[in-house]
Amino acid sequence: MSRFALALLALTPLPAVAAAADAPSPAPSAAVAPVVHKPLRHLTFAVDIDQSTQTDMRTIDVAASKGGNTEHYVAGSVAHGTIVCDIVGVTPDGNLLVDVTEDSSENRSSATKRVAVQKDGGLVFLPNQGTLNEEESELVTLLAPGLMGGDRATGDSWTYRQTAPNYSASKTFRLSEIKNANDVSLSVEETYTRSGADGLSGTILGTLDYDPASLVPLNAKLNKTTRQEDTTGYKTRKLGMTYTLKEDSLTKH
């Protein structure tokens, strides 16, 4: 059993939180806020964000020489910064309670928010504090205590599925290489769909180096593509996220 797992077992259990499925932009759900004065674990990640959006608007006023009846608009931005994840507790059913803070450029900085991370990576938010930025949300899911789901061999793959009203997601991990007991390489592929008036669909493809003994990603690169359509046209949004672990209060990383 890892040192982090032993620390979790030694911690006095905190009030349980309500289960909720992970979503591209999940809405806050009710959870209990424990009073904790010192984090169980302090993690700092460097983060690089590359975002681009293409909007295709339907119109009848565009000449055929310009591409027919669709106008294209493209915008993008690049940001750099850090995300701090303070693990402040664990619930009786094994969910982590994490305080997440981002300090990044391009107006992506975010005040501290508390979230419960379920064993499979699902997230539960405290009320009245808003949601996490996408790069925060995707990183925190990689702290899930059951990310690998037990002992794995090279070539193994496993899938987590989550559902909620008008939403479904399927995330598959594959173990591509075991470097040593503290460093394995994983690939990840996720698909998600949200129906309704604000419906969308998307994919996340990526790779990460992961420490199965300490239950933490050492680095990760994720590429998220979201597609959304309405009566005026459709939008394709790409978000590239690169993370590097810089500080871990429980290890030498």
Mean per-residue pLDDT, 68-94: 84
What pLDDT is stored for residue 193 in this prediction?
Answer: 96
The overall average pLDDT reported for the chain is: 83
What pLDDT is stored for residue 1 in this prediction?
Answer: 42
pTM (2 d.p.): 0.80
Mean per-residue pLDDT, 65-86: 77
pLDDT exceeds cutoff 60 at 6: no
DSSP state of 188: E
What is the dihedral sign for C-alpha 25, 30, 34, 37?
Answer: positive
Higher-confidence residue of 121 and 252: namely 121
Which range marks the domain in which residue 74 is found? 3-245
Domain count of the chain? 1
Asked whether residue 251 is domain-assigned, the answer is: no
Asked whether residue 252 is domain-assigned, the answer is: no
Asked whether residue 221 is domain-assigned, the answer is: yes
Asked whether residue 201 is domain-assigned, the answer is: yes
CB 160 within 8 A of CB 186: no
Asked whether residue 253 is domain-assigned, the answer is: no
In angstroms, what CA-CA distances link 95 with 12, 166, 183? 13, 24, 23
Asked whether residue 24 is domain-assigned, the answer is: yes
Of 201, 190, 203, give the one whose Cα is nearest residue 229: 201
Burial label, 223 (beta-carbon count in 10 A; 0-12, 13-18, 19+): middle
Q: How many helices (H) and strands (E) does the chain have?
A: 2, 11
What pLDDT is stored for residue 53 in this prediction?
Answer: 87
Asked whether residue 57 is domain-assigned, the answer is: yes
Asked whether residue 150 is domain-assigned, the answer is: yes
Of 226, 229, 228, 230, give the one whose Cα is nearest residue 238: 226
Mean per-residue pLDDT, 65-91: 80
pLDDT per residue over 163-179, tens digit each?
988 999 999 999 999 99
